[in-house]
Structure formats: C-alpha cells, structure tokens
C-alpha cells in the first residue's frame, strides 16, 4: 500500500515538474517572440518596458502594444484552447483520433467566415459570423445526436460528420460564386489559418468565451477521468455522466469556436498536443489538462514565430501545423506500445 502511494505521489510530482518546466520555457519563448519580427525590438528594451521604462520611440511603442503583443497573446490563447479541447474530446469520446473539429465546430466557423467575406463585411463581423455559426453548428449536432438511435456518443460523432459534410458543400459553393480576383483569395487565406490581423479588440472578443470554457474544464478536469469509465461505475461514485459529458462538450466547443473564429482553421494542434502530453504525464486528466494547456500555447507560439519570420511573406498557420503534426503523429502511431 505504501509503495503504491509513493508511486502515485511520484507521478503527481512529475506532472507538477513538467508543468513548471514548460511554464518557464513558455515565458522565455514569449519574451524572445516579442523581440522578433519585421521590426526587431531589443530584448533589453522589452525587459525595461516591463519594468516601467518607456520605449525610445512612439513607433516601437505602437508596434509592441498594437501588433506584436496582441498577436503573441492570441497565439498562446488559441494554442491552449485547441489543445485542451482536443484532450477533452478524446476523453469524452474515448477516441485517440478525436480533435476539436470532431463535432463540426471548425466547419461551422468556416461557413460563417466565408459568408461574411463574401458579403464584404468588416473584420470584426467576420469573426462574429464565424463564432456564431460554429455555436449554431454544435447546437444542431447535439440536437440531432440526442435523437439518433443507438449509443448517444456514436450518434453525436455521426451527426458531426454529416453536418460537417453539408458545411463543406456550402463552402465550396460560396467559393465557386466568389469574385476570383478579390474575394476568393481572402476566403482561401482565412481557411488556411493566420493571426496576422490580430489586434487588441480581437483579444477582448475571444477572452470571454475562452475563459468561460477553459476555467470549468480546468476545475472539473478530474471528472473527465470518471466519465472514461463505464456509466455504472461513474454513477456509483456519484457522478452524473450525462450532465458531465454535456458540460465538457459545451466548454470544449466554446473554446474551439472562439479560437477558430479568430485564427481560422488550424489543424493537428488539438490532435497531436494531447498525445505528446500523455507521453509526459500519463492519462490522468488532473495532470493532462494543465500540461496540454501550457504545451499547446508553446507549440502554437513557436509555429507562429516561424510563420511570420521565416520568409518575407507569412506562411499560413494551418500549413505549418500540418507539416509539423502529421509526420509526428505517423511516428507516434508506429512506435511500440499503445497509442491510447
């Protein structure tokens, strides 16, 4: 008994240690990222500004607070949201291939954004259309899934696949009728994912739904462990499986919708990051969620740095996450040992 307790404490300490190390790396990466860009800002000047000393020029001040800092904050928020949503969906659906777009949140956001771009609406309305369309899509998926025959989880997944297919058809039609010179390139670029247009007002828009989703997932993360058991076992421990599952799905959907409405479609981050976190701290969601949050932020921050600094023209984030995520996942599934 004492030996088992000792092992459990060791694993908990490992989880805390991994979170601490990743947190320190993330802070260092944020500081370095703030200095990188088309207009470099010396790291000493950034540290001095944090300590209260103004920048040497108004131009540097404007770039730092209106462009560089909002983009880096948003990269961390989006990475955190997608990673936590992916980990939560994988637990709820007991499927190692579950990702934030499994219920159609991303395809719904794509439809909303494409429609707004087609109507030539301003940037803030494109974000609002994407967010609302994503939430409406998930509400429709849950409505259909509840009325599907057989297991509710299977019904939800199938409803998500079918409604995503409908969105894909609608998006294809809108791209077909879009102006090929002005509108179509903007639609395609949005769908590939980017944080290039992030401004302080975008953070104000996204931080509320992200907080409303991330905080409950963090607080009740231990309950995800319970709903991975059989329904009878979970109920015997006093957990309402149906209500807990609905809470996790709603919160995960909320953060996914907020992230995708700002950044566009960014694949693989929500699929790969939770698996890397599992390799570090195991399947216990009490440790998995915090590590996924920090590692997701670090991952997308590094990807965004490559996107905006590698070439003169920015590379869409969706391309880079696919180039990084797909080979890694292939390596992961071919390793010895179980993926899940």
- The whole-number pLDDT of residue 252 equals 95
pLDDT of residue 321: 94
Render pLDDT for 180-220 as a digit per residue (tens, 0 to 9). 998 999 999 999 999 998 989 989 899 999 999 999 999 99
Summarize pLDDT for 103-161 with one digit per residue, the tens: 999 999 999 999 999 999 999 999 999 999 999 999 999 999 888 877 778 888 899 99
Mean per-residue pLDDT, 70-98: 94
pLDDT for 4: 43
Residues 274-314 pLDDT 10s: 999 998 998 899 999 999 999 999 999 999 999 999 888 89
Residue 151: what pLDDT? 77
**With bands split at pLDDT 50, 70 and 90, how would you rate the model's confidence at 5?**
very low
The mean pLDDT of the chain is 89
Is residue 23 predicted with pLDDT exceeding 90? yes
Per-residue pLDDT of 190-200, as tens digits, reads 999 999 989 89
pLDDT at res. 34? 95
Give the residue with greater pLDDT, 30 vs 234: 30
Fold of 72-334: ABC transporter involved in vitamin B12 uptake, BtuC (1.10.3470)
Looking at residue 238, its pLDDT comes to 72
pLDDT of residue 336: 63
Domain ranges for the chain, please list them.
72-334
What does the pLDDT average to over 70-95?
95
Percentage above 90 pLDDT, the chain: 64
**Confidence category of residue 77, pLDDT binned at 50, 70, 90:** very high
Secondary structure of the chain in the HEC alphabet? CHHHHHHHHHHHHHHHHHHHHHHHHHHHHHHHHHHCCCCCCCHHHHHHHHCCCCCCCHHHHHHHHHHHHHHHHHHHHHHHHHHHHHHHHHHHHCCCCCCCCCCCHHHHHHHHHHHHHHCCCCHHHHHHHHHHHHHHHHHHHHHHHHCCCCCHHHHHHHHHHHHHHHHHHHHHHHHHHCCCCCHHHHHHHHHHCCCCCCCHHHHHHHHHHHHHHHHHHHHCHHHHHHHCCCHHHHHHCCCCHHHHHHHHHHHHHHHHHHHHHHHCCCCCHHHHHHHHHHHHHCCCHHHHHHHHHHHHHHHHHHHHHHHHHCCCCCCCHHHHHHHHHHHHHHHHHHCCCCCC
pLDDT of residue 240: 79
Predicted local distance difference test score (pLDDT) of residue 7:
45
């Amino acid at each position: 008994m004492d030996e088992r307790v000792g092992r459990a404490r060791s694993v908990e300490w490992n989880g805390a240690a991994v979170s601490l190390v990743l947190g320190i790396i993330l802070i260092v990466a944020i500081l370095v990222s703030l200095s990188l860009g088309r207009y470099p800002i010396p790291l000493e000047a950034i540290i001095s500004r944090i300590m209260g000393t103004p920048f040497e020029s108004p131009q540097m001040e404007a770039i730092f607070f209106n462009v560089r800092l909002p983009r880096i904050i948003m990269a961390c928020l989006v990475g955190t949201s997608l990673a936590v949503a992916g980990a939560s969906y994988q637990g709820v659906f007991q499927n190692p291939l579950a990702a934030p777009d499994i219920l159609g949140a991303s395809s719904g956001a794509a439809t909303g954004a494409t429609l707004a771009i087609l109507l030539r609406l301003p940037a803030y309305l494109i974000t609002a259309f994407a967010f609302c369309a994503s939430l409406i899509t998930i509400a429709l998926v849950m409505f259909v899934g509840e009325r599907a025959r057989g297991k509710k989880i299977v019904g939800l997944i199938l409803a998500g696949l079918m409604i995503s297919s409908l969105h894909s058809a609608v998006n294809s039609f809108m791209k077909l009728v879009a102006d090929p010179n002005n509108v179509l390139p903007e639609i395609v670029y949005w769908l590939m994912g980017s944080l290039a247009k992030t401004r302080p007002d975008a953070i104000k828009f996204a931080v509320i739904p992200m907080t409303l989703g991330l905080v409950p997932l963090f607080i009740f993360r231990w309950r995800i462990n319970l709903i991975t058991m059989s329904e009878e076992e979970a109920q015997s421990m006093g957990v309402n499986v149906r209500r807990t599952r609905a809470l996790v799905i709603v919160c995960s959907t909320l953060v996914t919708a907020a992230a995708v409405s700002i950044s566009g479609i960014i694949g693989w981050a929500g699929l790969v990051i939770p698996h890397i976190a599992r390799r570090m701290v195991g399947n216990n969601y009490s440790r998995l969620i915090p590590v996924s949050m920090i590692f997701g932020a670090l991952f997308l921050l590094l990807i965004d740095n490559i996107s905006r600094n590698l070439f003169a023209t920015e590379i869409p984030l969706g391309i880079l996450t696919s180039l990084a995520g797909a080979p890694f996942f292939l390596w992961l599934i071919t390793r010895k040992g179980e993926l899940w």
